[in-house]
């Protein structure tokens, strides 16, 4: 993981702590292993500070509400899900692929880097992996509108969305959606809300249409 993020921890315990999910800590109470929730709380605050600073300086025409939407993260880019310590039950139910668990670990990792290397190290990490492709993130948060405009322009059929599956407990639902032109599926996506799943499906549909053109 240190190779993936271009940062070497002086205190390896901080790194391990940032990757420890509550399910793993609960299964190892005897060893008094700490979960990553406190680091996640800190990392969230650091992420908000650095991303707000970046967006304020680089998106000076953008309203506050739009800036908030752009605080996205790229945990998958560093393969973070492969390094998280999960309890056996959480592992068995697909926790390693659950966006909420991975994004929480990402924020905990930010907190750990902040404590280990200071604000400059945390800022460098955030700029590289959380704010590294701001235009694509900006598109993503409005891609249903962009996709509708594209479909209307080329007149290739009627665009619709369908929720095709859901999984997980009520407090941590995951929905699967498809974007369709008439009855042809052109994009699939998943998310913790139906709207987020549809946005992901629209984003992937746009990529499909781009590849065709």
170 in active site:
no
Which of 35, 40, 44, 99 is labelled catalytic?
44
Q: Which of 124, 105, 128 is nearest to 114 (CA)?
A: 124
Which of 81, 104, 107, 176 is labelled catalytic?
107
C-alpha span between 181 and 143 (Å, rounded): 15
C-alpha span between 26 and 29 (Å, rounded): 5
The CA angle 27-30-35, to the nearest 5 degrees, is 55
Q: Which two tokens stand for residue 132?
A: 């590294």
44 in active site:
yes
Q: Which two tokens stand for residue 149?
A: 């405009």
List, in order, residues 6 or more apart from 45 with CB less than 8 Å away.
none
Residue 170, SS3 per DSSP: helix
Q: Which residues are catalytic?
A: 44, 107
């Amino acid at each position: 993981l240190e190779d993936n993020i271009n940062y070497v921890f002086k205190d390896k315990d901080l790194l391990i702590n940032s990757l420890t999910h509550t399910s793993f800590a609960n299964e190892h109470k005897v060893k008094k292993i700490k979960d990553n929730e406190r680091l996640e709380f800190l990392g969230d605050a650091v992420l908000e500070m650095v991303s707000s600073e970046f967006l304020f300086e680089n998106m000076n025409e953008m309203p506050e509400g739009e800036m908030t939407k752009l605080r996205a993260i790229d945990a998958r880019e560093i393969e973070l899900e492969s390094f998280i310590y999960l309890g056996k039950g959480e592992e068995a139910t697909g926790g390693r692929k659950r966006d909420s668990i991975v994004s929480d670990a990402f924020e905990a990792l930010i907190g750990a880097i902040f404590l280990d290397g200071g604000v400059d190290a945390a800022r460098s990490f955030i700029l590289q992996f959380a704010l590294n492709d701001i235009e694509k993130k900006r598109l993503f948060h409005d891609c249903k509108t962009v996709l509708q405009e594209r479909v209307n322009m080329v007149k290739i059929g009627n665009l619709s969305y369908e929720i095709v599956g859901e999984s997980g407990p009520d407090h941590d639902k995951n929905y699967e959606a498809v974007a369709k032109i008439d009855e042809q599926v052109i994009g699939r996506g998943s998310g913790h809300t139906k709207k987020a799943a549809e946005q992901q499906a629209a984003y992937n549909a746009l990529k499909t249409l781009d590849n065709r053109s």
